[in-house]
Every structure is written in structure tokens, then in C-alpha cells.
Structure 1
């Protein structure tokens, strides 16, 4: 399953978050594939992760919750969304 993970960095955490990111690179744990990660220019960003292990994704996010705020949403691709919408009886 794929997840959209959005994060924001509170102003008081920017330096510590930058230091941790440059030191670790924030790689995903075993069981989680990072499809891509994009950093916005206003102190936040978004990543797409794929996993069948929600616990592994949770552990990755939890490592950063002292510095970042997260919003995580399961998602589907266009083809899957289209199939669901086409099957709806309207």
C-alpha cells in the first residue's frame, strides 16, 4: 500500500531537524520503500512511501515526531481510483 506523508517543521525545530537530516539522511526502515521525497521551501515537504507493514512506517515517522509534525494518508493510483469510481452506481 502507498502512503502520502506530509511534514512540517515548527520554527523552533528547524536547526535540529536540519542537523539530524544531514547526519542521517532519514532513510526508510526495512519493510518501507520510499518512492520519492520532496522538500518545500517553506519548512515542510512530502514523501510517498510504499509498505505492507504499517508498524515499520510508524516507527520511521515516530523517530522524527520530536522535531516534525506529520499527516499520513493511505492513497491509491489513478487507475485504481478510476476503477472504483467507474464501479459506483450513480
Structure 2
């Protein structure tokens, strides 16, 4: 399953978050594939992760939870969304 993860860095955490990212690279744990990550210029960003183990994703976000605020949602791709919508009886 794929997940959209948006994050925000509160003003008081920016320096610590930057230092941790430079030190660790922010790589995902085993069981999570990072499809892409984009850093905005306003102290936040978004990543797309894929995993069949929600606990692994939870663990990764937990590592950053003291510095970042997250909004995480499962998602589907266009083809899957289209198939679901086409199957709806309206």
C-alpha cells in the first residue's frame, strides 16, 4: 500500500531537524520503500512511501515525531481510483 506523508517543521525544531536529516539521511527502515520525497521551502514537505507493514512506517515516523508534525494517508493511483469509480452504481 502507498501512503502520502506530509510533514511540517515547527519553527522551534528547524535546526535540530536539519541536523538529524544531515546526520541520518532520513532513510526509511527495512520494509518501507520511499518512492520519492520533496522538501518545500516553507519548512515542510511530502513523501510517498510504499509498505505492506504499517508498523514499519509508524516506526519511521516515530523516529522523527519529536521534531516534525505529520499528516499521513493511504492512497491509490489513478488507474485504481478510476476502476473503483467506474464500478460505482450511480
Q: Any residues of structure 2 matched to 1:66-77 within 5 Å, and which?
A: 66-77=66-77
Per the alignment, residue 22 of structure 1 pairs with 22
1:20-73 CA-to-partner distances (Å, cap 9, x unmatched) read: 000000100000000000000000000000000000000000000000000000
Please give the secondary structure, in 1, of the residue aligned with 2:17.
Answer: helix
- State the superposition RMSD in angstroms: 0.2
Q: TM-score, normalised by structure 1?
A: 1.00
Per the alignment, residue 36 of structure 2 pairs with 36
The gaps in structure 2 that reach 5 residues or longer are none
Aligned residues between the structures: 90
Moved over 4 A (4+): none
Per the alignment, residue 86 of structure 1 pairs with 86
Shift of 1:12: 0.2
Q: TM-score, normalised by structure 2?
A: 1.00
- Cα distance in structure 2, aligned partners of 1:53 and 1:75: 15
The question of 1:12 aligning with 2:6 is answered: no
